[in-house]
Amino acid sequence: MAEHAWILAAVPAIAFLALAALGRRLPRQGDFLAVLAAASGFGLFFAVLASFLGRGEGAWPVLNAIEWTAIGDFRLNMGIAVDQITIVMLAVVTTVAFMVNVFSVGYMKGEPRYWWYFAVLQLFVASMLLLVLADNLLLLYVAWELVGLSSFLLIGHYWERRSAVEAAKKAFITTRVGDVGLLIGIILLWKATGTFNILDIIHAVEAGEVGGTGLFVSVMFIFLGAMGKSAQLPFHVWLPDAMEGPTPVSALIHAATMVVAGVYLVARLLPVFEAAGDALLVVTAVGLITALFSGVVAFAQTDIKKVLAYSTVSQLGFMFVALGAGVVSAGMFHLFTHAFFKALLFLGAGSVILGAHHRQEVGQLGGLWRRMPVTAAAFLVGSLALAGLFPLAGFWSKDEILHAVEGHRGALVFALISLASIMTAFYTTRLFILTFLGKPRDAEAGHARETGASMTGPLVFLAVLSVFAGFVVYGGVGEALGFPGGFGEFVYLHHPETFHIDWGLAGVSTALFVIGVFGAGWLYRGGRLDRAAALTAWQPKLYEMTRRKFYFDDLYQFLIDRVVLGFSYVVSWFDRFAVNDTGVDGSATLTGYAGFLLKHLQTGRVPNYALAIAAGVAALILVALAAGG
Amino acid sequence: MVPLENYLVLSAILFALGVYGVLSRRNAVLVLMSVELMLNAVSLNFVAFAAHLDPDRATGIVFAVFVIAVAAAEVGLALAIVIRLFRNRSSANVDEAATLRW
């Protein structure tokens, strides 16, 4: 089964085709097809997992490829490679996709283009699974663009709304900047190694066939693609705007799966990054800056989804910091746990938005604890997991990251990532308090009602995962589930690492959690805003700067207005005057004018023509005589 | 036997007369007659060369017969055009038929 894991991607692909072709005419607009596809994907994953584990470690990675095309001696294969990282990604994608499809049945009820929404959702799942299964970079790039396309379509699902159109465009173009880098990087790696196959590239690099500055440059180009997709500074601007899409989409694409494609790519190519000089240092730096920056910006956001979006950007930064420390298990583990609790938080936010009649500004919410108890409880679990409460999932993965940073990156990075951890706990607590505690600040929030079972069901399921998913770090738990050991003994770069809890580090981690939670709890005690307002009034400029996201959007707008549009004005002037008026129209005018002058040679009189012919013949005879001597 | 040069000189004189007629006459019928003169000069050339250079075979003579046949067809067509021209303009002067231009 593991060698036929491509079926996982084929099932949603077929569902997409069926829904796109027939969705509108099917009963219930075909949503049962989508849920069926997602459920069978979830089921099939376990078949793949059982087969994968059954083969034993010696048979990993499981490969299956067919020849795509042959150009001369160069053969391009298309195939799948299933290894431990792929298995983790498959688990995340199939689980969250299943939950999101079920949730969407309730959430999207009665929305426009219901069938099309589900169709594109299946397209996304198929592309994402293809992305994680691909055994070569070219196929990966195809899937990479396909997930970008589905993301674009889903962000712009409500295309009647101008902001949604703008956000979709922004997401597409911003990630495209990175994608060009990725393509250049893939081509550079191909030139250096002569293959697109990921394993062959890694072997070539490990054998020392390529290296030096050339390798560093190509790796940096690839990392550019990862930064774009995973919304790292300075490409982060598209992700918060992507919240214009339907909330379940934010949960699936912009929290759990697509945005971690960059993390996945770096994890997949980590041996190459390791060999490429200071590449990992760059990864750490970018991740660290992003984690800190988005943590601060999340303080001042008032839209419940925007807070979560900046939180996602920040957590992606955490993953890059872990990968930058060269510890693939810590990065992938945080990806794994984060997918569950962040999907939970987004679906919880969706439940809040639907229950509170499309109020999503925290200033309008509050006091939903009584009215939406299931959502509130699930959201609380997700928040605590994100903030890192012992022993929820987020605690373990954050612990692993701290451990990795402490071991490989030194005290400064450790201090900064700890600071980012405090921020995580702080903004998460703030969001929870403002949404669920205190009194409703808006009439609609006061009339909020708990959402239906198709929404609370996935919330509860994901809440359970958010509590327990972290325990797979323990060897005993992993072995009980059939794995060779804990997470670190399953996903590793060079040597499996058995997990031993470091109580000192756990203490530090818990202290960070407590500082963050109590800081926010003191500031927003009981859901009251007076202390926060006083703080804002004390430093209005700082607050404004944070609220405006440190002017990144304004800066880009300025760059586009002045530099890009200015340059394009020059280009369009050149096109109009040099190319169009002088080149194209000019040659036509010249021909016309020449014809206007020459037409007077045509008299229409037969004798003139006869004379011309006779003169011509006479001239030819003279020439012939002269030449003949 | 009359030498070849005599025929060629006669043919050249006929041809030159034809060219002169085509260039100097304004009446379409006379222009056509001059064209016939030029064609006949060519036919005479064919026959003379054939008789002197290859008397056993009739290649040049057959060519001359073809030229005469083509000339007859050409005159038939051209005279029809001249008649249409005369009907339209009450004149066969080629200078006046100058509308076919820009």
Q: How does pLDDT run across A281-293, given as a tens digit for each residue?
A: 999 999 999 999 9
Q: How does DSSP classify residue A117?
A: H
> Which residues does A438 contact at the CB level (< 8 Å), separation at least 6?
A366, A367, A526, A527, A528
Contact A373, A130 (CB under 8 A): no
Put simply, whether B22 touches A (Cβ < 8 Å) is yes
Q: Give the closest of A599, A602, A607 to B95, CB-based.
A: A607
Instruction: Give the residue-averaged pLDDT of A609-616.
Output: 90
Smallest CA-to-CA distance from A397 within A322, A455, A324 is with A322
Put simply, whether B26 touches A (Cβ < 8 Å) is yes
Binning pLDDT at 50, 70 and 90, where does residue A429 land?
very high
Instruction: Give the residue-averaged pLDDT of A24-51.
Output: 91
The tens digit of pLDDT for each residue in A53-83 reads: 988 888 888 888 888 888 888 888 889 999 9
Domain, as residue range, for B92: 4-99
Which positions in chain B touch A610 (Cβ < 8 Å)? 22-23, 31
B98 and A611 within 8 Å at the Cβ level: the answer is no
Residue A372 identity: M
pLDDT at res. A276? 85
> Which residues does A48 contact at the CB level (< 8 Å), separation at least 6?
A1, A2, A5, A8, A82, A87, A90
Smallest CA-to-CA distance from A392 within A485, A333, A463, A323 is with A463
Q: Give the closest of A604, A611, A614 to B99, CB-based.
A: A604
pLDDT at res. B68? 92
Q: Give the closest of A599, A604, A614 to B98, CB-based.
A: A604
Contact A323, A444 (CB under 8 A): no
Binning pLDDT at 50, 70 and 90, where does residue A302 land?
confident
Q: B35 CA to chain A: closest CA distance, Å?
A: 11
CA distance A19 to A33: 8
CA distance B7 to B50: 12
What share of chain A in percent tops pLDDT 70? 100
The tens digit of pLDDT for each residue in B1-54 reads: 788 899 999 999 999 999 999 988 889 899 999 999 999 999 999 999 988 888
Q: Which residue has the tokens 């990795």?
A: A404
pLDDT at res. B79? 92
Parallel/antiparallel/unpaired status of strands A62-71 and A74-82: antiparallel
Q: Best of B19, B34, B38 to disrupt the A interface by mutation (most A CBs within 10 Å)?
A: B19
Nearest CA in chain B to A608: B23
Instruction: Give the residue-averaged pLDDT of A591-596.
Output: 92
Q: Which two tokens stand for residue A428?
A: 């998460």
Q: Which two tokens stand for residue A424?
A: 């995580």
Binning pLDDT at 50, 70 and 90, where does residue A629 land?
low
Which CATH number do you get for residue B29? 1.10.287.3510
- Per the confidence metrics, is the pTM higher than 0.90? no
Binning pLDDT at 50, 70 and 90, where does residue B102 land?
low
Q: How does DSSP classify residue A470?
A: G
CA distance A232 to A317: 7
Q: Give the closest of A603, A610, A614 to B101, CB-based.
A: A603
* Beta strand extents in A409-517 (DSSP E only): none
Instruction: Give the residue-averaged pLDDT of A76-101.
Output: 92
For chain A, report the end-to-end CA distance as a whole number of angstroms. Answer: 92
Put simply, whether B42 touches A (Cβ < 8 Å) is no
Q: A586 CA to chain B: closest CA distance, Å?
A: 23
Nearest CA in chain A to B18: A614
CA distance A310 to A294: 5
Instruction: Give the residue-averaged pLDDT of A491-512.
Output: 86
pLDDT at res. A233? 86
Query: How many Cβ pairs closer than 8 A exist between chain A and B?
Result: 29
Binning pLDDT at 50, 70 and 90, where does residue A390 land?
confident
Which of left, alpha, beta for A497 (phi over 0: left; psi -120 to 50: alpha)? beta
Contact A160, A113 (CB under 8 A): no
For chain B, report the end-to-end CA distance as a whole number of angstroms. Answer: 56
Q: Give the closest of A603, A604, A611 to B23, CB-based.
A: A611
Q: Within 10 A of A515 (CB to CB), how many other CB atoms are there?
A: 16
The mean-pLDDT minimum among A72-81, A95-104, A574-583 falls in A72-81
B99 and A602 within 8 Å at the Cβ level: the answer is no
Contact A279, A223 (CB under 8 A): yes
∠ CA A356-A360-A361, nearest 5°, is 120
A606 and B31 within 8 Å at the Cβ level: the answer is yes
Which positions in chain B touch A616 (Cβ < 8 Å)? none
Q: How does DSSP classify residue A440?
A: -
A interface residues, B as partner, C-beta within 8 Å: 599, 602-607, 610-611, 614
Residue A231 identity: A
Nearest CA in chain A to B35: A610
Contact A12, A126 (CB under 8 A): yes
Q: What radius of gyration do chain B's Cα atoms show?
A: 17
CA distance B38 to A8: 90
Tally the domains of chain B.
1
The tens digit of pLDDT for each residue in A146-203 reads: 999 999 999 999 999 999 999 999 999 999 999 999 999 999 999 988 889 999 999 9
Q: Best of B27, B95, B96, B99 to disrupt the A interface by mutation (most A CBs within 10 Å)?
A: B95
Q: Give the closest of A602, A605, A607 to B102, CB-based.
A: A602
Residues A239, A242, A244, A247, CA torsion sign = negative
Q: Is the pLDDT of residue A48 over 70?
A: yes
